[in-house]
Amino acid sequence: MTAALQARHVSKTFGGNRVLDDVSLAIEPGEVHGLLGQNGSGKSTLIKILAGYQDADPGAELLIGGHRVALPLPSGQSQSLGISTVHQHLALIPSLSVVENMLLGRLGRSNAMALSWRKARAECAAVFQRYGLEIDPAATVSGLSAIERAMVAIVRAVEDLGLRSSGSGPGVLILDEPTPFLPKQDVETLFALVRRIVARGASVLFVSHDIDEVREITDRATVLRDGRLAGTIDTKASSRDEIIKLIIGRALRADRPASEVAQGAPAKVAVTGLSGGGVKGVDFDLQPGEILGLTGLLGSGFESVVYMLYGAIPRTTGTLRIEDETTPLAEATPARSIAAGTVLIPGDRNARAAIGILPIADNVTMPVLSRKLNKWFVRRGPMHQLAQDLGRQFGVVPNRPEQPLSSLSGGNAQKVVIAKWLQTDPRLILLDEPTQGVDVGARELVFDAIRGATRKGAAVICASSDYEQLAMLCDRVLVFADGRVGAELNGEQISKQSIAETCLRGASKLPDAL
């Protein structure tokens, strides 16, 4: 069978640093092919080369549908050659309608004056119907749910492939980590769409850190390790442990660590009457060193809690007590929270937690410039030394503080953000999806760092819809439903399965199996 896409001998060097080394990859027609590897293993670089955003080093070869294609791909031409990419940020314009977004690529190439919007909407509706989607072409993208936005971007990418001129097969759709921003229940909806796409003959290259998802949706997978090909596997025939071992070169720790929370100690943190942002009068408290998980279905209110406690959502009411200091949340602001020893590590690190164009050293030392370094003027030597030490401690790869943060892979950038706040020895750590985009091996490092902070007495609140993460990390999990705490899971009750079941039952009662 002629491969839908074949890449051979792909290498890439940045300033003397070889990040891809003689990688080869073949994707069959109608196949969902996984691309796996630790943070910084070279997945995005490979995709950027396949999508024509980046040149490969000399010697690389690319065949699409058996036809040799000259590298580098001409800028903006990858779709006409049969490769379409959907990145995590989706590249939709929120203020435009669905149909306008669907036509974005084509508008640039055609005479827009001659466009009939009525006809375009009807065609768009017919396309959505073909894929079994119920999305109004006239709706504004900003009003769509996360899963609807993802599906619009994916269908647009596939349709743009269908318009290409070359006759070399139905093409390859690259999905670059499409699921981390989606609630778990919507992942199935997305997978149904992926199955429909491959049933129509196209192939999909699926990049993900979620091993269970990879085993569910892909047929085979290529694994990169340190920029080299670690292997190509039949995912259905491979166990979870085998895949993890190929990715990180070792096995993960088997069990969740036993809770270290001292029973019966007075609460260190107490939240009372928390209301606003979809939350309706919630009370809970935390023991010193406790890691409390918050979860639920999207819209159940759990997603807002850490931002409300940090003072980042206006019109929040209730109180937050840390040890013997009580703050009315109506008066909380991020600056006051930081001064009181509360830190927030947000989910959207690119927009809210880091400045990509600044060096890693500047990003990571920002909260401690006056405390740990010279208060009156910035000396880069000590700043670099501190950044280097933190990079080592948190496993940032490559550990080069002078590089811009944006040159790090997604997962390594997240480690920098976590290091930046944990070094401040906070009393309360607020986390929103702390290991989104972080690979399975590095997750252990991040979890260890968070547990290290709890040993120093910090309390942690972790909001997440990643049930596996909650099961590995938390001493207790509160499952939200309709703005309130619907169920509480403790100790042995906590597992990925039990959290998923409790969420899906509307959090009205504990799972039968418990």
Ligand X SMILES: Nc1ncnc2c1ncn2[C@@H]1O[C@H](COP(=O)(O)OP(=O)(O)OP(=O)(O)O)[C@@H](O)[C@H]1O
- Name the site residues for ligand X (rule: CB under 6 A): 14, 19, 37, 39-45, 398, 407-412, 439
In the complex, the smallest distance separating the C-beta of residue 402 from ligand X, rounded to whole angstroms, is: 12
Nearer to ligand X, 37 or 171 (CB): 37
In angstroms, the first-to-last Cα distance of the chain is 49
| E strands in 17-171 | 17-27, 32-37, 61-64, 67-69, 83-86
Nearer to ligand X, 45 or 502 (CB): 45
Q: Are 284 and 305 in contact (CB under 8 A)?
A: no
Query: Of 29, 65, 79, whose CA–CA distance to 203 is shortest?
Result: 29
Nearer to ligand X, 40 or 301 (CB): 40
Nearer to ligand X, 177 or 290 (CB): 177
- Which 3 state secondary structure label does DSSP give 49? helix
In the complex, the smallest distance separating the C-beta of residue 82 from ligand X, rounded to whole angstroms, is: 22
In the complex, the smallest distance separating the C-beta of residue 387 from ligand X, rounded to whole angstroms, is: 15
Q: In what order do the strands lie in the sheet with 317-322?
A: 279-286, 269-276, 317-322, 325-328
Q: Are 221 and 233 in contact (CB under 8 A)?
A: yes
Handedness of CA 123, 127, 133, 135 (dihedral sign): negative
Nearer to ligand X, 148 or 176 (CB): 176
Nearer to ligand X, 30 or 411 (CB): 411
Phi, psi of 71 (to 5 degrees): -105, 150
| E strands in 105-150 | none
Q: Are 170 and 202 in contact (CB under 8 A)?
A: yes
Nearer to ligand X, 44 or 235 (CB): 44
In the complex, the smallest distance separating the C-beta of residue 42 from ligand X, rounded to whole angstroms, is: 4
In the complex, the smallest distance separating the C-beta of residue 411 from ligand X, rounded to whole angstroms, is: 3
In the complex, the smallest distance separating the C-beta of residue 403 from ligand X, rounded to whole angstroms, is: 7
DSSP state of 397: S
In the complex, the smallest distance separating the C-beta of residue 319 from ligand X, rounded to whole angstroms, is: 39
The number of beta carbons lying within 10 Å of the beta carbon of residue 228 is: 16
* Cβ-proximal residue to ligand X, closest one: 409
**Cis bond upstream, residue 398 (ω within 30):** yes
State the residue for tokens 């166990």. Answer: 239
Nearer to ligand X, 75 or 263 (CB): 75
**What whole-number distance in Å separates Cα of residue 401 and Cα of residue 472?**
30
In the complex, the smallest distance separating the C-beta of residue 157 from ligand X, rounded to whole angstroms, is: 19
- Which 3 state secondary structure label does DSSP give 343? strand
